[in-house]
Amino acid sequence: MKAILQSATLGDLAIANRIAMAPVTRSRAGTDGVPDDLAAQYYQQRASAGLLISEATNVSPASAAFELAPGIHTPEQAAGWQRVAAAVHREGGKLFMQLWHGGRVGSYALLGGAAPLSPSGVNDDLHLLQVYGMLRNGQYTRIAASPSRAMERAEIFSAVRAFGIGAANALEAGLDGVEIHAANGYLPQQFLSPHVNRRTDDFGGGIANRARFLRLVIESVMLSFPAARIGVRISPFAQYNNARDPAVAETYGYLLRMLDEYGIGYVHAADTNAWGGAPDMEELLSLVRTNYRGFVIANGGLTPEAGDGLIRDGRADMVSFGRQFIANSDLVRRIAQGGPYNEPDPFTFYGGGARGYVDYPALAA
């Protein structure tokens, strides 16, 4: 049997295989951020994965990097996710929610005219920030990022509470766990980055101070879920959204040891540079394994064969796939028999309806 198809235990959860569905933004939630019945169908179709990790889900109205992304900060949004979780559980699947705050990655056009929030109001690189919105003609496209402003201390603690409230709502909605999005240049990684975080208070400066925001977020989320049901996604080497760090090994060594001390259920190690053809997977997994003793999910530009090799060699415990799961709802079955695989249509990744969402053909029974 392929290693990637073997069962495993994630904390107290028995998972059927080592194949995870990566968090993939699809931007079909509507202006109210409520996932609908189509979303329930989408996740249900993919429930054969050992673990489904939801698309990035806003914990606050101040988070809006992608228009029409779902939220988890209103009762209506929680009710929508309850329908999604129930659909996944009917198929025997496990669903974690990725909790998301875009921070400075945003636009006043998506935030009701407000400026995006950031640790320090660094705005000399707005052309590098990835913000997306829906045009009046129905086309979904990249739009200009707006200048952010530095968060006041009260706003920092409000953002921490938003993650905790999001976790509580996810628990109430019946999800099996949550993943804190501390990757891709979003708010937790912005605090970690000395390039973006130039604060002089106890949330800036040395690594312990820069990690304080994520530490408080973890503790806020742990009020609802035990550490074993919490994952943290990191992308230490990522260029995406420009939350750079000149001392990756020092910063993320400290961070990973912190996650290990909390007993965090898994680290989702994302090699986002692989999207641009410059993979860092070997260095990334070495960094994680050196400093963290728990369950590791590898992500980023991996084929099923490469993922199977990582698991077989002990470098990862699970592998997550994004684009492959977009186009192949029955990806587990396809991996088991060695393909064939549908090709994803990038023009239907974001926005729209059923086309490119729930209508990719499955293998014949």
Q: Can you tell me whether residue 83 is helix, strand or coil? A: helix
DSSP state for residue 363 in the 8-state scheme = P
Q: Can you tell me whether residue 125 is helix, strand or coil? A: coil
Q: Which residues contact 295 (CB under 8 A, 6 or more apart)?
A: 10, 11, 265, 266, 267, 317, 318
Residue bearing tokens 């052309």: 127
Catalytic site includes residue 262: no
Per DSSP, the residues of 36-68 read: -HHHHHHHHHTTTSSEEEPPPEESSTT--SBTT
Strand partners, 230: 178
Q: Which residues contact 63 (CB under 8 A, 6 or more apart)?
A: 100, 101, 102, 103, 106, 187
Amino acid (one-letter) located at 321:
F
Q: Can you tell me whether residue 276 is helix, strand or coil? A: helix
Give me the numbers of helices (H) and strands (E) for the chain, helices first please: 11, 15
Q: Which of 42, 43, 140, 186 is catalytic?
A: 186
Name the region of 281 (left: φ>0; alpha: ψ -120 to 50; beta: rest): alpha
Catalytic residues: 186
